Amino acid sequence: MNRDGLLAAALATQERAYAPYSQFQVGAAVETETGEIFTGCNVENASYGLTICAERVAVCLAVAAGHRHFVAIAVATAGGASPCGACRQFLAEFADRLPVLIVNAETGNIVAETDLADLLPGRFQLLDGDA
Ligand SMILES: [Zn+2]
């Protein structure tokens, strides 16, 4: 896991978040098994339900570039917030276990390290094995 790379990428991307409604900016960086890092930020919309989270943007960009296997994700927010339930399920489509680094963007430090399997036990699953 490229801990420093994930940390820096999540923090840099958090600053680009489009969050005029919540003012809650989120940056995410996901590392592929080939060592590439894809980033995402939350993008809000006047029609609130259309808002997409940083984690899902990062994974979508990685998948669009041909990646489906991930080794870790970092998420940066003020105070260090954990991924929402929707993102946990979204990530679980591609990984049974996935280290999740929680970053406090105010300090620039990793404040927690957990795993997707612990964040989302009993995920919804239709496919067995590799997608
Ligand atoms: Zn989310």
User: Could you say which of 55, 93, 106, 113 is catalytic?
Assistant: 55
Predicted confidence (pLDDT) at residue 75 exceeds the cutoff of 90? yes
The domain ranges of the chain are: 3-119
DSSP H helices in the chain: 3-14, 54-64, 85-92, 116-119
pLDDT confidence bin for 130, thresholds 50/70/90: low
**Cα 102 to middle of ligand 1, angstroms:** 13
How far is the C-alpha of 92 from the C-alpha of 125, rounded, in Å? 9
How close is the Cα of 42 to the center of ligand 1, in Å?
8
Q: CATH code for 3-119? A: 3.40.140.10
The model carries a pTM of: 0.95
Tens digit of each residue's pLDDT (9 = 90 or more) over 25-63: 999 999 999 999 999 999 999 999 999 999 999 999 999
Phi then psi dihedrals of residue 94, to 5 deg? -115, -5
What does the mean pLDDT of the chain come to?
A: 96
For ligand 1, the distance from its centroid to the CA atom of residue 39, given in whole angstroms, is 14
Between CA 10 and CA 74 the distance in angstroms is: 6
Q: What is the pLDDT of residue 71?
A: 98
Mark whether 55 is an active-site residue. yes
